[in-house]
Amino acid sequence: MGAPLLELKSIRKTFPGVVALADVTFDLKAGEVHALVGENGAGKSTLLSVMNGLTAPDSGEIRIQGQPVVLSGPTVALANRLALVHQELVLCPNLSVAENIFLGREPKARLGRGNRVALNRMAEDLLGEIHVNLDPARKVGELSLNEQQIVEICRALASRPRVLVFDEPTASLNDDQVGHLLGIIRKLKANGLGVIYVSHRLGEVLDISDRVTVLRDGHVVGTREIAGLHEAALVSLMVGREHKPGEAAYKERQYGAVALEVKAISKASVFDDVSLEVRAGEIVGIAGLLGCQREAVARSIFGAASIDRGEIRIRGKAVALRSPREAIRAGIGFMPADRKGEGLVLPMSVGDNLGMAILRRLGRFGLLKRRQKNATANELVRKLAIKVSGLFQLASQLSGGNQQKIVIGKWIARGGDIVIAEDPTRGVDVGAKFEIWCTIQGLADEGKAVLLLTTELQEMMDACDRILVMSRGRVTGHFDRKDFSAEAIAHCFVA
Amino acid sequence: MTMNTLETKMVEPALPARPADAWRHLSIGAMSRAAVLVALVIFGQAIAPSFLSLANIHVILLAVAAIGIMAYGMTLVVITGEIDLSIAGAAILSCVVGGLLIPTGSAVLVIGATLLTGLVVGLANGALVAALGIPSLIVTLGTLGIGRALANIVSGGQALYPEGLNAYLWLGRGQFAGVPVPVVLLVILGAAAVALTRYSTFGPALYATGGNVRAAKLSGINVVAVRVTVFAISGVCAALAGMLESARLSYINPAGFEGMELSVLAVTVLGGAALTGGVGSISGTLTASLIIGIVNNLLNQLGVSIYLQQVVTAVVILAVVLPGIRQREIAK
């Protein structure tokens, strides 16, 4: 079989104040799926960007089929037939699905329409390969997050790579689509490709991989054959301690008065007659499939979108929230699912991001009370165990879990008594997930009313006191914690 | 065990707000600007012994005062991710409107009307951009044309002469403690702008609006107010800079400041502000205006033609800006 497809030898990479990769050795054989797992900030993202040529290692060697290479950029990586499916979507919203898939490698054909037809046909073939029914002529900007992810995957496949790297490919896919994707990966594997699979969903990792390498704090903790490996063993390798499932478990709380009451709100052709209430100290989830419009409901409650009919009451008082600012003043905090696009200002420091919702409070005659700002930020960093080298560090330099903690911290600083959390653990590793759930439970323990929207039903059932189910803009089910059952809830998804 | 040591390390007393080795964290852009500035000073002194004389320093600073003050306003606008191409129009219209009051003989009225007109133009820009959501490139290109046209209509195309208005003329030609007044204003306004961007609550709101407007809105920042404010400041800066120039030349030229917006934009970009928003600093902009001022001063001393000067200036801008942009790209 010869040399491995890809070998990384003693890769070291440091950033100011942080050793991202200490001494990482990794190899990938043809026809295998090699998973890469690790906690928040373990160095996975850095390792991937080294593989993709985005980051030059300080030392170490990269070999492709036995030949040492210098990957000086993504195009060089591609030329070596190494393609990456990005975790974050890097698509052009103004171009079509097909144009995005073949961006930069459009077939050289006649000008104009003929070319487009050919492009669409090629895209259709690719989409067909992964059994997805998506019109290649549609603009990517019109697609849902999850459909965009599919385009991203097709784009990597279009380069016909020998090594394909999946970075959290399933973060926004539903179970069906995950199944399809894993099917595709098996096909690719059978064709002799090497697949590097990065995911926080350990079930998938165990399901699809042949080997797994665990990273922790920039070191390789171990590379194991999957056969005979259990999830619990994998988790303890990742976090370096025994993992107790259910540790994040919820404890029963006393509820207070109704903090948020939504009465029969409607928005034409989006959602209709949605009612819900959240009491102080209660976590209420809204479950539903893609397109159930629960995100639209959340945004309307937060004043970021209008409603046509109905009423929103906060602490018993009817309010008309015309903007997020008014909602925030009424005591609502909102943690959007799209951390980078809506939650954070990436080119701004950790300290500035944490203080963003309390600027007025941090001012005296318009001057910034720096000491208080830094003290507040420090307290949050410590409380939420955010791993940063200093408050000056830019939000863009942090891993997903730490970024999410900043989004949460911003609202803890604000101290409102209603919190809307959209997918707070998306793309976050096991350890950070646990910490984030503890934090959210802690918010409810303190008497805040929490409205929760997550894609993973199991996590929602673990966290919530009650769950509402939405389907096509309507509430189709209502469950108390004692009645939670995945089957019953899923049944309401399509009701 | 390793885990334990790591955790204890994490609970350090307080995280630094600034890195201990701050200079290591300076952007490549800031370092190359500083290096170029130092190199220019050394080079200047080498080829012209009078380069560092007080008189020549005053000449250099006087030459960059107006452009520097305009660039402060432009920097704030660019940090929010917008652009203000109307500054030359705002400057000339403000000066002409102020100039109409010259017959009153009151310098206060003339100066007040000038600054007020700049404010109005800025507020109009801000309202059109922030409230109506029209791209600032289009809005300010429009107000640039309108400002110039109105200035010509109002003045009948005739230059105005602020004769006898000593307080007005003092702004351009006077001295304060031995320093030319425009230079004093350049320094004072620079300090005010630094305070605004770094030591006020407006600063984080400004950078957040430019860095990610959606996140800023969802965090309760009044992005409309931020945008209107920066355009208003830019309008007033333009009016003030225009007035300093008019006072220095002792006449208000309704056809003046041709192409000024691009020079100011060039200084702003040279100063490290990114047209995509969220990045930029007043200190960078000030350094950049000094670089441009010194380059022009040296080229004048060497007797280089005005056209060649423009080429050299452009090359300097590219040479300084490129490394910083490359760093930003890599950081992504």
Contact call for B205 and A359, based on CB within 8 A: yes
C-alpha separations of A302 from A262, A283, A324 in Å: 12, 17, 6
Question: Does A41 touch chain B if contact means CB atoms closer than 8 Å?
Answer: no
Q: Best mutation site among A356, A370, A405 for testing chain B: the one with the most B CBs within 10 Å? A: A356
pLDDT band at A246 (very low <50, low <70, confident <90, very high): very low
Q: Given this model, what pLDDT does residue A41 score?
A: 67
> HSE (CB half, 13 Å, CA atoms) of A452?
32
Instruction: Please answer whether residues B73 and B268 qualify as being in contact, where contact means their C-beta atoms are separated by less than 8 angstroms.
Output: no
pLDDT, chain B, mean = 89
How many domains in chain B?
Answer: 1
Query: How many residues are recorded in chain A?
Result: 495
Q: At what angle do helices A370-383 and A400-414 cross, to 10 degrees?
A: 120
Tokens found for residue A320: 């008309």
Q: Given this model, what pLDDT does residue B14 score?
A: 67
Q: In the predicted model, is pLDDT for residue A120 greater than 50?
A: yes
pLDDT band at A298 (very low <50, low <70, confident <90, very high): very high
DSSP state of B160: B
pLDDT band at B21 (very low <50, low <70, confident <90, very high): low
What H or E segment, with its residue span, contains residue B234? helix B223-249
Question: Does A16 touch chain B if contact means CB atoms closer than 8 Å?
Answer: yes
Question: Does A304 touch chain B if contact means CB atoms closer than 8 Å?
Answer: yes
Q: Given this model, what pLDDT does residue B327 score?
A: 61
Q: In the predicted model, is pLDDT for residue A437 greater than 50?
A: yes
**Closest to A421 (Cα-Cα) out of A380, A470, A460:** A460
**Closest to A476 (Cα-Cα) out of A495, A452, A457:** A495
C-alpha separations of B233 from A324, B193, B226, B240 in Å: 26, 10, 11, 10
A6-244 and A247-493, same CATH topology: yes
**A6-244 falls under which CATH superfamily?**
P-loop containing nucleotide triphosphate hydrolases (3.40.50.300)
Mean pLDDT over residues B234-245, rounded? 97
What gap in Å lies between CA A9 and CA B143, rounded to an integer? 60
Mean pLDDT over residues B176-193, rounded? 96
Instruction: Please answer whether residues A165 and A173 qualify as being in contact, where contact means their C-beta atoms are separated by less than 8 angstroms.
Output: no
C-alpha separations of A248 from A200, A335, A433, A440, A468 in Å: 17, 20, 9, 10, 22
Mean pLDDT highest for which of A195-199, B140-144, B297-301?
B140-144
Q: In the predicted model, is pLDDT for residue B6 greater than 60?
A: no
Question: Does A342 touch chain B if contact means CB atoms closer than 8 Å?
Answer: yes
Q: Given this model, what pLDDT does residue A459 score?
A: 82
User: Is A315 in a helix, a strand, or coil?
Assistant: coil
The full DSSP string for A75-111 is HHHHHTTEEEE-SS----TTSBHHHHHTTT------S
Which of A161-165, A431-435, B54-58 shows the lowest mean pLDDT across its residues? A431-435
* B312 within some domain: no
Overall pTM > 0.80 = no
Q: In the predicted model, is pLDDT for residue A468 greater than 90?
A: yes
Instruction: Please answer whether residues B78 and B257 qualify as being in contact, where contact means their C-beta atoms are separated by less than 8 angstroms.
Output: no
Q: In the predicted model, is pLDDT for residue B131 greater than 90?
A: no
* B195 within some domain: yes
Contacts of B83 (CB under 8 A, 6+ apart): B77, B136, B137, B140, B265, B275
Percentage of chain B lying above the pLDDT 70 cut: 90
Beta strands in A95-233 (DSSP E): 163-167, 194-198, 211-216, 219-225
Contacts of A128 (CB under 8 A, 6+ apart): none
Q: Given this model, what pLDDT does residue A113 score?
A: 55
pLDDT band at B248 (very low <50, low <70, confident <90, very high): very high
**Number of other residues whose CB lies within 10 A of the CB of residue B23:** 8
Question: Does B17 touch chain A if contact means CB atoms closer than 8 Å?
Answer: yes
Q: Given this model, what pLDDT does residue B26 score?
A: 65
What H or E segment, with its residue span, contains residue B184? helix B181-198
**Closest to B209 (Cα-Cα) out of B327, B87, B324, B77:** B77
C-alpha separations of B130 from A134, B80, B114, B223 in Å: 37, 11, 24, 8
Contact call for B15 and A359, based on CB within 8 A: no
- Name the pairing type of β-strands A59-64 and A6-15: antiparallel
Which of A336-345, A410-419, B232-241, B310-319 shows the lowest mean pLDDT across its residues? B310-319
Smallest CA–CA distance, residue B253 to chain A, in Å, is 38
pLDDT band at B1 (very low <50, low <70, confident <90, very high): very low
Sign of CA dihedral A103, A107, A113, A117: negative
Mean pLDDT over residues B192-198, rounded? 95
pLDDT, chain A, mean = 87
Percentage of chain A lying above the pLDDT 70 cut: 93
Contacts of B287 (CB under 8 A, 6+ apart): B33, B34, B37, B271
**Number of other residues whose CB lies within 10 A of the CB of residue A321:** 21
Mean pLDDT highest for which of A113-117, A162-166, A228-232?
A162-166
Domain boundaries, position B141: 64-291
Number of A–B residue contacts, CB under 8 Å: 119
Q: Given this model, what pLDDT does residue A52 score?
A: 87
Tokens found for residue A100: 């995005």
Q: In the predicted model, is pLDDT for residue B186 greater than 90?
A: yes
Question: Does B1 touch chain A if contact means CB atoms closer than 8 Å?
Answer: no
Pick B222's closest partner by Cβ from A325, A347, A357.
A325
User: Is A241 in a helix, a strand, or coil?
Assistant: coil
C-alpha separations of B208 from A5, A359, B70 in Å: 44, 11, 23
Can you give the residue ranges of every domain in chain A?
A: 6-244, 247-493
Q: In the predicted model, is pLDDT for residue A159 greater than 60?
A: yes
Mean pLDDT over residues B176-189, rounded? 95
Pick B219's closest partner by Cβ from A16, A357, A396.
A357
**Number of other residues whose CB lies within 10 A of the CB of residue A39:** 27
* B23 within some domain: no
* B56-105 per-position pLDDT tens digit: 999 999 999 999 999 999 999 999 999 999 999 999 999 999 999 999 99
pLDDT band at A271 (very low <50, low <70, confident <90, very high): very high
- The amino acid present at B307, given as its one-letter code, is Y
Q: In the predicted model, is pLDDT for residue B309 greater than 80?
A: yes
Question: Does A343 touch chain B if contact means CB atoms closer than 8 Å?
Answer: yes
Contact call for A240 and B208, based on CB within 8 A: no
What gap in Å lies between CA A313 and CA B154, rounded to an integer? 56
Tokens found for residue A140: 């990517």
Q: What is the dihedral of CA A409, A411, A415, A416, to 10 degrees?
A: -160
**Closest to A266 (Cα-Cα) out of A494, A493, A474:** A474
Tokens found for residue B140: 């300010």
Mean pLDDT over residues B230-241, rounded? 98
Q: In the predicted model, is pLDDT for residue A111 greater than 60?
A: no
Q: Given this model, what pLDDT does residue A144 score?
A: 75
- The amino acid present at B176, given as its one-letter code, is F
Q: A366 to chain B: which residues are within 8 Å by CB?
A: 200-202
Q: In the predicted model, is pLDDT for residue A311 greater than 70?
A: yes
Instruction: Please answer whether residues A292 and A471 qualify as being in contact, where contact means their C-beta atoms are separated by less than 8 angstroms.
Output: yes
The full DSSP string for A24-53 is EEEEE-TT-EEEEEE-TTSSHHHHHHHHTT
Predicted-assembly ipTM surpassing the 0.90 threshold:
no
CATH number of A247-493: 3.40.50.300, 3.10.20.90, 3.40.50.10860, 1.10.3720.10?
3.40.50.300
Tokens found for residue A381: 């960093």
* A49-81 per-position pLDDT tens digit: 899 888 899 999 999 988 999 988 888 888 889
Q: How big is chain B by its Cα radius of gyration, in Å?
A: 22
> HSE (CB half, 13 Å, CA atoms) of A420?
26
Which residue bears the tokens 């560092």? B52
What gap in Å lies between CA A100 and CA B265, rounded to an integer? 34
Which residue bears the tokens 């079509």? A96
Q: Given this model, what pLDDT does residue B65 score?
A: 96
User: Angle at CA A399, nearest 5°, toward A395 and A404?
Assistant: 70
Find the residue in B nearest to A386 (Cα): B10
